[in-house]
Chain A
Amino acid sequence: MKKQLFLLLSFLITVASAQNPDDKKYLLTTNINTFELSTVSFLDPYLSPIIYSGIGMQYNHQIRSFLKPEQTNISVQSKLNLDISVSLNPQSTSMMMFMGANYSWGMHYHFRVQNGFQLLAGALWDVDFGFKEMPRNVNNPVNLDMATNLNLSGIAMYNFPLFTKTLRLQLTAQTPLLGYMFVPMGGASYYEMFELGNMSNTFHLSSPINKRGLNSSLTVAVPFNKSVWNFGFKYFTLKYTANDMVFDKNELSLVIGTTFDAANFSGRKNKAPKNFLSTNE
């Protein structure tokens, strides 16, 4: 009897102390992939004093997750943006090609204002690299866009019901605060800068005094049976000045994309629970 009682007690303790996989918290990563079609305009006085306008395409890959399972007020976000566009001068006698990439990383604090309404405020640090090419120019056919910025970032998310679905309206806005940017002297050739190594007056501190911009979007996320699709608009404007030149870029984009959540399991300590089946078994 004593033995039976001991076994029963041991079993109950084991069951009670065993961790239920459903109780453990796992961080999901929200993945947002979007394609954008844009109308663009550029002013780059190093290449031309004339404003160029045209069309462009962008691809964005953004991931966001909470910092820790226990900390659901702070999220970490990283974003990669690839940008390509072709624009013409008003007389269509010259073309400018732009290719650029931007990577940003940062954090947001989540203010849960009310059920279904969140405000996120934070900062993103980004690295920007792109080049504009104007093949008609002989000795100054290219200008590089290189910058790094600390940006203020805000996001508002509002869930609202429509028929049988709950849609999410999302407004995002970013503006550069402080940074460092490459702007050549108006008359200095890339031969002088990169062949002869004269980089004086090419790197500049940036702040709202000499660099202002807004990268904003308004999207609505619509859930379907097995996917969530985002539709919306993006407005990007950036103006900066250095070396007595004012540069300008504007983009108005149509946005379409998807959102999905995924859990990452990797390494020795971050294994998937047994009821998660992987080909990487």
Chain B
Amino acid sequence: MNIGLKKKDRMKRLNLLVFIAILFASCMNEPVQQPNTYSGNFESLWQIIDTKYCFLDFKHINWDSIHTVYKARVDTVKSQLTFFDLMGDMLDELQDGHVNLISDFDVSRNWDWYLNFPPNFNSDLILKSRYLGKNYLIAAGFKYARIASGKVGYIYYSSFEDNFSDNNVAYMLNYFSACKGLIIDVRNNGGGSLDNSQQLASPFFKVETLTGYIEHKIGVGHSAFSVPLAMKTPANKNIQWQRPVIILTNRMSYSATNDFVNRMKLAPNAIIVGDKTGGGGGLPFSSELPNGWLVRFSSSPMFDSFMQLTEWGINPKYSVALLQTDAANGYDTIIEEAISLIK
């Protein structure tokens, strides 16, 4: 009987020792830090994109073959500048305006999403007396005026980085209370904060509306994404505009502006007019290389309410181009089209 108890005690002790051994032997290894060499920085950059960039499969990019191609070229690099250009070229394969390599001496970028398209915007034109003129009002980042003999309200918003309050919006919409409709011009607006996008869209919704989805990477696999999360646009309880609102877009309407347009597509009285937006439907993240360069890349893909990616841009309902003949006469073809739609 006693011998049996001793055996039990021994087993208990053994089990305890095994448990403690497993506990402390369990791996908690930090990832290998690449050396600060051309090869190490290349491997680090390639791996960041391989594991964290969200559009490799969506864009059908064979990232492994890109490794093969660029690895061979890295071995011939002799200076930092050529190495930077080479890494910039590798990132250019992603065809993504949200991808940048940032060093102390340069920023690599892909601006093809608007450089290869007509601008459809002329900042001098909107300052003509026919539109904003000289005596336009300014509220936070908004420039606004009554145009078309006071029948139409016109707001130009150049960046979603410019924060604003509900008060700013309330004053503007009140100023336009006698107008038949409103134009919100977000051409050449390269984006900014998604909070601002949601806040600006909310007065145009009567009820909270599902306007899109967002995912994020949950593993290193190119298609390892979380369950899509609904992005809703709430109705602003205090400020409402339920008359026609026209959103003017061009290829430089990008990122958070793309998100704003995606939301406004579903606003009850909104119409998108102009050119297709530039896209930028991937929320960017930052990381860095052993040499201290920063890399920015799309990390969380965003979709419209039909689960279609917004990375490639959003088509307008009325596709209108800025005609040079109109511009020469001081007319903005796209604003004129919006005015006629409101009238």
Contacts and interface: CB of A to CB of B under 8 A. Distances in A.
Q: Is chain B found bound to chain A in the same assembly?
A: yes
B214 A192 contact: yes
B216 A189 contact: yes
A48 B44 CA distance: 12
Contact of B286 (A43, A138, A188, A239): A138
Interface stretch (B7-15, B132-140, B289-297): B289-297
A248 B30 CA distance: 8
Interface stretch (A31-39, A88-96, A99-107): A88-96
A81 B230 CA distance: 40
Contact of B194 (A188, A191, A207, A210): A191
Interface in A64-122: 89-94
B299 interface: yes
Contacts of A94: 288, 292, 294
B150 interface: no
A50 B229 contact: no
Interface in A156-208: 185-189, 191-192, 195-196, 198, 200-201, 207-208
Given A185-B226, A241-B28, A140 B286 contact: yes
Nearest to B229: A198
A212 interface: yes
A208 to B, nearest CB: 5
Interface residues of B, number: 40
A208 B23 contact: yes
Given A187-B217, A239-B28, A92 B292 contact: yes
A203 to B, nearest CB: 16
A117 B325 CA distance: 95
A140 B231 CA distance: 19
A209 interface: yes
A185 B216 CA distance: 9
A49 B288 contact: yes
Nearest to B24: A208
A89 B218 contact: no
Contacts of A248: 30
Contacts of A198: 226, 229
- Of B220, B226, B288, which is in contact with the most chain A CB atoms at under 10 Å from its CB? B288
Contact of B283 (A43, A139, A239): A139
Contacts of A195: 194-195
Given A192-B229, A244-B219, A210 B286 contact: no
Contacts of A90: 36, 290, 292
A191 B26 CA distance: 33
A120 B289 CA distance: 46
A201 B226 CA distance: 10
A241 B288 CA distance: 20
Nearest to A46: B285
A186 B104 contact: no
A56 B202 CA distance: 44
Q: Main secondary structure on chain B at its contact with chain A?
A: mixed
Nearest to A198: B229
A50 B296 CA distance: 15
B4 interface: no
B262 to A, nearest CB: 15
Contacts of B29: 246
A212 B216 CA distance: 28
Given A196-B229, A196-B231, A198-B229, A187 B288 contact: no
B300 A189 contact: yes
A191 B214 CA distance: 10
Given A93-B292, A208-B24, A187 B286 contact: no
A94 B220 CA distance: 26
A51 interface: yes
B76 interface: no
Contacts of B194: 191, 195
B287 interface: yes
A137 interface: yes
B108 to A, nearest CB: 15
A130 interface: no
- Of B44, B195, B219, which is in contact with the most chain A CB atoms at under 10 Å from its CB? B219
B141 interface: no
A210 B29 CA distance: 11
B231 A49 contact: no
B164 to A, nearest CB: 17
B33 interface: yes
Given A94-B292, A139-B286, 5 more contacts: A136-B286, A187-B299, A188-B216, A195-B194, A196-B230
Interface of B: 23-24, 26, 28-31, 33, 36, 44, 48, 52, 54, 104, 194-195, 214, 216-220, 226, 229-231, 283-288, 290-294, 296, 299-300
7 contacts: A43-B30, A50-B290, A139-B299, A191-B283, A192-B229, A207-B23, A212-B28
